[in-house]
């Protein structure tokens, strides 16, 4: 029954209301800038500026010197320092120096982390609040760089996003999470590959002995080293052959604890992984994972700060020679490698944001090429509905662009009596459903977590008609590879909101045309009369105010051809289970 005209499929008439989109970020089409506030942290009921950390750290550092110096006058402490000079006597000695692979992977690690951290901060700026509870109820955040949530008006998650400087985030612009995520995930892939190479090479050479403690004595020795540094009477450096215990613990923590934690807490923010990993997904819920992910970022930042400071104050030339020149002497070889490479880092740093704004579509396509396969793979993780009524969130952020057409107003005024859901395209039996038709079909209920791309989550009980039952009625043809959901509302940049799903998503038991939310008809704010639930994808794929579903064999000729409104206009990917 395919209608073909000049080789182009004829679509549901509503497809004519889709718009094309520019391949660049056009600021005039984007959300207007909005600044956040200096980050604040909540202790109990009170909020404190993070800027307090600066004087506090300064006082601790200075007072620490006085305390450490006077401690070193005490005979028992002196005895302790003799007994634990800074490294266990059994510490293995590395004889291979700083081989090329180590120097290269060290540089790449730093280079990649620069992009990862900047893009990560950009992602955070899209929902500039952190929580420990899954529900993201306003006021329950423990960290934010945005004002309290305004009351007395609709305040969507998009309204809440903030602009950050372009030198800090990639690309800095408000609500540019689509692009930031391509950077974050693509470079993560490179960083993980580099990390795997580091793990393998560490343990297939003697280099692991630098950073893996082999005796509990590492702890008193680390304390001893800390005391020596803090009293400004630095321990003798043997870094060419072995690290002191403080270095060893810091490096071990960074490589073997912080890095894996950042990976696990990153993945656990994904709907498909979180929803399919049972108790683990509930204990390490998205907001906990997100908060921990952020704390790991701080570990990395403080580590880099301390590491670089010590490299420079404990003999910059010799230290740089080791890790950058691979030699243990007083030459300038380390500098000669370090300075050009840092220039490269600086150039890359300054060009990432303007490049991303100008070549947004390229960033999207490159990201898709690099990690799209993995996202596709993650769609197979099977989401389950294992939450109970008591998990339902007291607050569920609204999001998106509300319908403002006269057509919609009329439908609302008539209590959706005139609403029709049109299901057409490559199907044997195109059907129209009234709301009453949908209500008369067998209803399914599920209590699930919603994962918005911006970072918030919320649990609700959804009721409605499983997509599988709709498929049974309309019987998609074998050529039908995708289902297109058209909304009654336009998107933020004009043109109709729509999104495309693969057929596997449509056959999943938890894919639902939701007409009830928490036991009541879905409100207009949350997508009345019908909104999609597809529990292995991010929130933007769950079209609200659905008016038509069309089965197609390809989506290249719809809108700008990227598989949905946010895919076209905000450079998201169309398979987004992560």
Here's the x/- map for Mo ion, 451-480, by CB under 5 A: it reads as: -xx---------------------------
Q: By three-state DSSP, how is residue 106 classified?
A: helix
Per-position x/- string for 381-400, each x denoting binding to Mo ion as judged by CB under 5 A, each - no binding: ------------------x-
Chain position carrying tokens 């692979």 = 101
Q: Cβ 156 to ligand MTE, closest distance in Å?
A: 7
Tokens of 576: 């987004």
Q: Supply the minimum distance, in Å, between the C-beta of residue 504 and Mo ion.
A: 22
- Does the footprint of ligand MTE cover residue 487 (CB under 6 A)? yes
Q: CA-CA distance, 487 to 530, in Å (whole number)?
A: 10
529 binds ligand MTE (CB under 6 A): no
Residue 497 is inside which H or E element, if any?
A: strand 496-502
Restricting to residues 447-466, name those near ligand MTE by CB under 6 A: 452
Q: How far is the CB of 400 from Mo ion (least distance, A)?
A: 7
Q: Is 18 in the site for ligand MTE (CB under 6 A)?
A: no
Closest CA to 146 of 278, 40, 283, 9: 40
120 touches, from ligand MTE, Mo ion, none (C-beta below 5 to 8 Å by class): none
Contact positions with ligand MTE (CB under 6 A) in 353-392 = none
> Rg of the chain's alpha carbons, rounded to an integer?
28
Report CA torsion sign: 234, 239, 244, 250: positive
Among 195, 539, 564, 577, binds Mo ion (CB under 5 A): 539
Candidates 1-9, 240-248, 270-278, 396-404 — which segment interacts with ligand MTE by CB under 6 A?
A: 396-404
Q: Does 419 bind ligand MTE (CB under 6 A)?
A: no
Should residue 540 be labelled a site residue for Mo ion when binding is judged by CB under 5 A? yes
35 secondary structure, DSSP code: B
What is the C-alpha separation between 498 and 478, in angstroms, rounded? 23
Question: Applying CB under 6 A, what is the total number of residues that bind ligand MTE?
Answer: 18
Cβ neighbors of 168 (< 8 A, separation 6 or more) are: 118, 121
Decide whether 244 or 449 has the Cβ nearer to Mo ion.
Answer: 449
For residue 156, the minimal CB distance to Mo ion (Å) is 9
By the rule CB under 6 A, 396 interacts with ligand MTE: yes
Asked if residue 397 binds ligand MTE (CB under 6 A), the reply is yes
Q: Classify residue 30 by burial, with Cβ atoms within 10 Å: 0-12, 13-18, 19+.
A: middle
Q: What share of the chain is helix, strand, coil (3-state, %, to 5)?
A: 45, 15, 40
Applying CB under 6 A, which of residues 246, 471, 542, 552 lies at the interface with ligand MTE? 542
Burial class (CB in 10 A: 0-12, 13-18, 19+), 90: exposed
- Reference 421, options 536, 315, 531; nearest CA is 531
Between residues 545 and 551, which has the closer beta carbon with respect to ligand MTE?
545
d(CA 530, CA 464): 9
401 touches ligand MTE (CB under 6 A): yes
> What CA–CA distance (Å, rounded) separates 424 from 483?
10
Question: Between 119 and 542, whose beta carbon lies closer to ligand MTE?
Answer: 542
Residue whose C-beta lies closest to ligand MTE = 400
Residue 408 binding partner per list Mo ion, ligand MTE, none, with a CB distance cut-off of 5 to 8 Å that depends on partner kind: none
Site string for Mo ion, 402-441 (x = CB under 5 A): ----------------------------------------
Confirm if 391 and 447 have CB atoms less than 8 A apart.
yes
The listed partner (Mo ion, ligand MTE, none) that binds 105, CB under 5 to 8 Å by sort, is none
At its nearest, how many Å lie between ligand MTE and the CB of residue 311?
Answer: 44
- Considering only 172, 195, 539, 573, the residue that binds ligand MTE (CB under 6 A) is 539
Q: How many residues does the chain have?
A: 578
Tell me the torsion sign for CA atoms 198, 201, 203, 209.
negative
Q: Smallest distance, Å, CB 453 to Mo ion?
A: 5
DSSP-derived pairing of the beta strands 421-425 and 546-552: parallel
564 forms part of the interface with Mo ion (CB under 5 A): no
CB of 526: closest distance to ligand MTE in angstroms?
Answer: 4
CA distances from 491 to 20, 488, 574 (A): 12, 10, 16
Site for ligand MTE contains 127 (CB under 6 A): no
CA nearest neighbour of 499 among 445, 572, 443: 572
Which CB atom, from 261 or from 401, has the smaller least distance to ligand MTE?
Answer: 401
Select from ligand MTE, Mo ion, none the partner in contact with residue 497, using the beta carbon and a kind-dependent cut-off of 5 to 8 Å.
ligand MTE
Minimum CB distance to ligand MTE smaller for 150 or for 260: 150
Nearer to Mo ion, 12 or 535 (CB): 535
Please report, in angstroms and rounded to a whole number, the separation of the first and last CA atoms in the chain: 36
Question: Which of Mo ion, ligand MTE, none sits in contact with 254, Cβ below 5 to 8 A by type?
Answer: none
Token readout for 189 is: 């892939």
Structure tokens at 436: 């009453």
Q: Residue 464 contacts by C-beta under 8 Å, 6 or more apart in sequence? A: 438, 443, 444, 512, 513, 514, 515, 516, 530, 533
| Interacting residues toward Mo ion by CB under 5 A | 399, 452-453, 539-540
Binding site for ligand MTE (CB under 6 A): 396-401, 452, 487, 489, 497, 526-527, 539-540, 542-545
């Amino acid at each position: 029954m395919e209608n073909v005209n000049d080789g182009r499929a004829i679509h549901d008439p509503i497809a004519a209301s889709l718009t094309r989109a520019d391949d660049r970020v056009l600021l005039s089409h984007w959300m207007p800038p909005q600044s956040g506030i200096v980050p604040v942290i909540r202790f109990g009921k009170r909020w404190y500026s993070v800027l307090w950390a600066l004087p506090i750290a300064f006082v601790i550092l200075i007072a620490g010197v006085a305390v450490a110096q006077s401690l070193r006058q005490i005979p028992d402490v002196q005895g302790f320092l003799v007994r634990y000079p800074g490294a266990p006597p059994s510490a293995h000695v590395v004889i291979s120096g700083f081989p090329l692979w180590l120097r290269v992977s060290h540089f790449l690690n730093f280079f990649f982390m620069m992009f990862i951290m900047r893009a990560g901060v950009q992602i955070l700026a899209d929902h500039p609040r952190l929580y420990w509870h899954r529900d993201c109820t306003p006021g329950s955040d423990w960290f934010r760089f945005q004002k309290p949530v305004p009351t007395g008006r609709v305040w969507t998650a998009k309204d809440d996003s903030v602009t950050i400087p372009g030198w800090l985030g990639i690309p800095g612009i408000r609500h540019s999470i689509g692009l930031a995520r391509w950077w974050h995930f693509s470079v993560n892939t490179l960083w993980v590959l580099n990390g795997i190479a580091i793990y393998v090479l560490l343990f297939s050479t003697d280099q692991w002995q630098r950073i893996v403690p082999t005796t509990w004595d590492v702890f008193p020795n680390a304390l001893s080293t800390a005391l020596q540094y803090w009293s400004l009477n630095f321990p003798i450096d043997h870094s060419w052959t072995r690290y002191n215990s403080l270095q060893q613990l810091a490096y071990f923590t960074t490589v073997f604890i912080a890095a894996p934690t950042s990976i696990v807490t990153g993945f656990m923010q994904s709907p498909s992984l979180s929803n399919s990993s049972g108790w683990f997904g509930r204990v390490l819920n998205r907001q906990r994972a997100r908060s921990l992910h952020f704390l790991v970022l701080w570990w990395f930042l403080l580590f880099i700060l301390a590491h670089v400071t010590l490299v420079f104050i404990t003999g910059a030339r010799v230290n740089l020679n080791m890790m950058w020149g691979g030699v243990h002497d007083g030459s300038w070889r380390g500098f000669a490698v370090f300075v050009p490479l840092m220039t490269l880092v600086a150039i890359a740093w300054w060009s990432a944001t303007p490049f991303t704004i100008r070549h947004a579509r390229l960033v999207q396509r490159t990201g898709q090429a690099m990690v799209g396969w993995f996202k596709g793979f993650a769609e197979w993780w099977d989401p389950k509905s294992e939450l109970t009524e008591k998990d339902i969130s007291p607050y569920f952020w609204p999001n998106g662009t509300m319908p403002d057409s006269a057509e919609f107003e009329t439908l609302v005024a008539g209590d959706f009596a005139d609403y029709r859901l049109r299901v057409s395209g490559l199907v044997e039996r195109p059907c129209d459903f009234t709301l009453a038709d949908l209500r008369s079909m067998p209803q399914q209920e599920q209590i699930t977590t919603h994962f918005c791309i911006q970072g918030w989550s919320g649990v609700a009980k959804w009721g409605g008609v499983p997509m599988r039952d709709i498929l049974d009625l309309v019987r998609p043809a074998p050529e039908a590879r995708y289902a297109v959901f058209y909304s009654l509302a336009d998107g933020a940049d004009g043109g109709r909101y729509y999104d495309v799903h693969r057929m596997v998503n449509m056959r999943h038991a938890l894919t639902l045309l939701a007409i009830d939310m928490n036991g009541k008809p879905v409100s207009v704010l949350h997508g009345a009369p019908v909104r999609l639930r597809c529990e292995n994808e991010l929130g933007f794929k769950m079209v609200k105010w659905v008016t038509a579903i069309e089965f197609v064999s390809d989506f290249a000729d719809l809108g700008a051809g990227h598989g949905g409104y946010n895919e076209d206009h905000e450079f998201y990917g169309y398979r987004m289970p992560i």
